[in-house]
Structure 1
Amino acid sequence: MNFAFCRIFRKVDFFILFLFLSVTVASFLFLRTHSSAQAHLLVTSGEKEFIYSLEKNRELEIDGAIGKSVIVIQDGRAFFKNSPCTNKTCVYMGAVSEENDWAACLPNDIFIRID
């Protein structure tokens, strides 16, 4: 009698675990697809803030503390193409594409972030 109870209990456990994992994966995929579709680029320069859609490819010239930085939005990603700073760390940071990814040109006081 105890052996039959253990066998049924194991099947129920596997069913509950499978159900839990299915709901978790479905929720993750739903949130992932919906958050990326509404993502935008927030550009901060000094006390000014600009918001741009990631859906339209464009090249932006943003005035900073020491000159103009060029930011490119292309294929849902954004990156510094050029900046007047001496070390060009912002250019070498690469593209930001995921929510809360960021890049900054500290000498020029420009910060970009995906929201």
Structure 2
Amino acid sequence: MIKKADIVLFLCIVVFGLAISWHAAFFDRQGNEVVVTAGGQVFGVYPLAEDREIEVTQSGHSNHITIKDGKVSMTSSTCKNQVCVQTGTISHTKDSIACLPNRVIVEIKAGKNNPEGGDVDVISG
């Protein structure tokens, strides 16, 4: 039997979930830096506003990254599954593209020159 407290708890969970979704949808920050990590090391940090092509080659593997019109995509990779290429474009902070077989990660960060704040955080072991 459903009690009144169960309904209240359910509604609270739904409202909380909607609030988080709303916050993520409307307050998602636009990043201004693309951080490319290869093999656990920062390969490069590039401005999101500047169109460019980046080739990451390591250990016989290759990834081609394109920055265009404020969006980033991995346009080709030598990995077998191609999930990284199928990810599509990213353009907001906390968005990322990962090529796990080739150990390449592309992230959007709010950099030092972004009025919305933030730094590129790099923790290396």
Q: Out of 80, 85, 89, which is 2:83 matched to? A: 89
CA distance in 1 between counterparts of 2:57 and 2:63 reads: 7
Structure 2 vs 1, CA of residues 65 and 93 (structure 1 numbering), >3 Å: closer, same or farther?
farther
CA RMSD of aligned residues (A): 1.8
TM-score (normalised: structure 1): 0.65
Query: Paired residue for 1:43?
Result: 36
Q: Out of 52, 57, 79, which is 1:58 matched to? A: 52
Aligned length: 83
- Would the aligned equivalents of 1:46 and 1:110 in 2 still touch at CA under 8 Å? yes
The one-letter code of the counterpart of 1:74 is K
Query: Paired residue for 2:120?
Result: none
The one-letter code of the counterpart of 1:76 is G
Percent identity for Structure 1 against Structure 2: 31
TM-score (normalised: structure 2): 0.60
Q: Out of 100, 104, 119, which is 1:106 matched to? A: 100
- Would the aligned equivalents of 2:40 and 2:103 in 1 still touch at CA under 8 Å? no
Find the structure with the greater CA-based Rg: 1
Q: What runs of 5+ residues in structure 1 fail to find an aligned partner?
A: 1-28
Deviation beyond 3 Å, 4+ runs, structure 1: none
Q: What runs of 5+ residues in structure 2 fail to find an aligned partner?
A: 1-25, 110-125
CA distance in 1 between counterparts of 2:71 and 2:57 reads: 21
User: Does 2:88 correspond to 1:78?
Assistant: no
The one-letter code of the counterpart of 2:81 is N
